[in-house]
């Protein structure tokens, strides 16, 4: 006890989390096989019930998230899609209508219908309801969430509700002279803003040289001495920002400018003894980083498979991809390992008509999973089965929803990113993108297998394809 008191607060917190996690693992290993199978089973029906209930209405405690309502839509809709389920037509129509009311008259999406930027505006809203919609202040983060939500819903009604012309002008207005983007009018400039702007433009097929100009320079200025990427120059490397920065550099076809070796070194050491990932050095494990860090590996895997190609396209390798075992201390409990994977990513983006032509288009490879039939030659750089074990045993609540860590409550944010990370690691050993993972790559029953995602955007793959086809024709 005396030695425990001598530890720092950070060290004590880490010890307590490890004890909670290892107690769960110990209990699991002492259970009979039938009970172990149940604990490793993804409780699909309970998760869908929890998620659907959240989309129809939330209690008063959620008022603190009032400016994040498109995010709540995205977290829930994406989670439902990962589980290969759909919302009913009425709820889908209501969601499209709600997000349309979040769309500002000058482009982009706000955190809710009519949400304004100043207290005075809020007073005016009460006095003059007729100009309510005119005061909507769009924000890049909620624009990303709204667009991803509509892409996830899919179909002409959802996709045609996005005013791409005005959204493009909003993105141009958020562009800063530094090369980065502001989150909103007068807001902060950071890597988050760069990713959300470039991701939305790429998905909607409106990415051009004006938007891309000097973005790479800004991202590069945020790569730290550790190798990861910070939110802004001079800050600490962070898993969320590292994913955003790496994905952005891939989308603008400048990923080879990053120090990928040091970035890889940084991210591989973020997986802890619990099996899950921490977001920063000396921080606690958190289920959401199953995607924010795990998604980085999905991108690095494809970059490594194409090493030597300039510019580096994702998934354009022609290697043979031999099966390779993953040898780890926890593999005895988790079962045998899976295979290599390769998905063909990249991007090709054009303008809306002639309204914002530029002298040259962005040099980005077409995002096409059929672009390459080659196999990746690189083994997973993380323990995918240990991560699945953490998600299923420590993050999953059996009555529905997923959480940060033991002792925390479930929420839609962690449900979304835990499931996204689970999908990524289930396919981390996939050899042929046209084949499903082998059972040994999926911890627990094979019914745990989730839908594949497009890791650059974190939308379910078939929903991405629907949007890609729609906006290519538009």
Q: What's the CA dihedral at 329, 334, 335, 336 to 10 degrees?
A: -60
Q: Dihedrals φ, ψ of 28, to 5°?
A: -60, -50
Q: Is 192 a catalytic residue?
A: no
CA gap 221, 22 in Å, rounded: 39
Q: Is 411 a catalytic residue?
A: yes
DSSP string for residues in 49-73: HHHHHHHH---GGGGGGGGGHHHHH
Q: Is 283 a catalytic residue?
A: yes
Instruction: Name the H helices within 223-337.
Output: 239-251, 260-268, 289-292, 294-305, 331-334
CA gap 460, 420 in Å, rounded: 9
Residue tagged active-site, from 164, 175, 280, 412: 280
CA gap 165, 147 in Å, rounded: 14
CA distances from 362 to 121, 126, 158 (A): 39, 45, 27
Residue tagged active-site, from 403, 411, 413, 416: 411
Residues 6+ away with beta carbon under 8 Å from 461 = 369, 451, 452, 453, 454
Residues 6+ away with beta carbon under 8 Å from 29 = 36, 333
Q: Is 164 a catalytic residue?
A: no
Residue tagged active-site, from 69, 175, 182, 238: 238
Residue tagged active-site, from 286, 413, 416, 427: 286
Residue tagged active-site, from 190, 316, 404, 463: 404
CA gap 403, 208 in Å, rounded: 38
Element at 460 (helix H, strand E): strand 459-460
CA gap 411, 76 in Å, rounded: 10
Which of 388, 294, 289, 394 lies closest to 336, judged by CA?
A: 388
Q: Is 172 a catalytic residue?
A: no
Residue tagged active-site, from 109, 218, 289, 464: 289
Residue tagged active-site, from 73, 102, 244, 288: 288
CB burial string 420-459: b at 16+ within 10 A, e below:
bbbbbbbbbbbbebeeebbeebbbbeeebbbbbbbbbbbb
Q: Is 288 a catalytic residue?
A: yes
DSSP string for residues in 188-208: -B-HHHHHHHHHHHHHTT---
CA gap 24, 38 in Å, rounded: 14
- Residue 190: burial class (beta carbons within 10 Å; 0-12, 13-18, 19+): buried
Bridge partner residues of 175 (DSSP): 181
DSSP string for residues in 85-139: ----HHHHHHHHHHHHHHB-TTSSB-SSTT--SSHHHHHHHHH-GGGGGGG----
Residue tagged active-site, from 47, 184, 301, 414: 414
CB atoms within 10 A of CB 36: 16
**Would you mind telling me the total number of residues written for the chain in this entry?**
474
Q: Is 289 a catalytic residue?
A: yes
- Supply the residues annotated as catalytic: 238, 280, 283, 286, 288-289, 404, 411, 414
């Amino acid at each position: 006890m005396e030695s425990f008191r001598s530890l720092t607060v950070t060290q004590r917190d880490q010890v307590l989390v490890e004890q909670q996690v290892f107690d769960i693992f110990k209990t699991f290993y002492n259970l009979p096989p039938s009970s172990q199978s149940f604990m490793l089973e993804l409780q699909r029906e309970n998760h869908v019930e929890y998620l659907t209930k959240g989309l129809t209405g939330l209690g008063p405690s959620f008022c603190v998230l009032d400016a994040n309502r498109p995010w709540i839509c995205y977290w829930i809709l994406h989670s439902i899609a990962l589980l290969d389920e759909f919302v009913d037509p009425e709820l889908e129509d209501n969601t499209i209508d709600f997000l349309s009311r979040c769309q500002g008259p000058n482009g982009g999406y706000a955190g809710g219908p009519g949400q304004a930027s100043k207290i005075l505006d809020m007073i005016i809203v009460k006095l003059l309801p007729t100009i309510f919609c005119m005061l909507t202040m769009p924000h890049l983060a909620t624009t990303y969430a709204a667009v991803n939500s509509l892409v996830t819903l899919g179909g002409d009604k959802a996709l045609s509700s996005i005013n791409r012309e005005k959204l493009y002008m909003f993105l141009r207005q958020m562009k800063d002279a530094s090369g980065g983007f502001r989150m909103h009018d007068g807001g902060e400039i950071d890597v988050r803003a760069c990713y959300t702007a470039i991701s939305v433009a790429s998905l909607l097929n409106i990415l051009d040289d004006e938007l891309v100009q000097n973005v790479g320079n800004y991202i590069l200025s945020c790569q730290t001495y550790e190798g990861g990427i910070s939110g802004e120059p001079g800050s600490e490397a962070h898993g969320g920002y590292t994913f955003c920065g790496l994905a952005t550099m891939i989308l603008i076809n400048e990923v080879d400018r990053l120090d990928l070796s040091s970035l890889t070194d940084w991210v591989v050491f973020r997986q802890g003894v619990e099996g899950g990932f921490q977001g920063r050095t000396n921080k606690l494990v958190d289920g959401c980083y199953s995607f924010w860090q795990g998604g980085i590996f999905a991108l690095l895997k494809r970059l490594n498979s194409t090493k030597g190609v300039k510019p580096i396209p994702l998934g354009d390798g022609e290697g043979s991809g031999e099966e390779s075992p993953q040898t780890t201390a926890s593999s005895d409990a988790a079962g045998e390992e899976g295979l290599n994977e390769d998905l063909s990513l990249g991007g090709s983006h054009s303008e809306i008509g002639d309204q914002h032509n530029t002298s040259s288009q962005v040099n980005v490879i077409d995002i096409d999973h059929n672009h390459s039939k080659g196999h990746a030659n690189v083994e997973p750089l993380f323990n995918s089965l240990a991560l699945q074990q953490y998600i299923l045993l420590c993050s999953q609540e059996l009555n529905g929803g997923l959480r940060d860590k033991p002792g925390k409550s479930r929420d839609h944010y962690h449900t979304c990113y835990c499931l996204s990370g689970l999908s990524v690691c289930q396919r981390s050993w996939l050899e042929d993108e046209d084949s499903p993972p082998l059972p040994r790559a999926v911890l627990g029953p094979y019914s745990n297998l989730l839908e594949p995602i497009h890791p650059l955007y974190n939308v379910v793959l078939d929903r991405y394809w629907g949007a890609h086809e729609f906006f290519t024709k538009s």
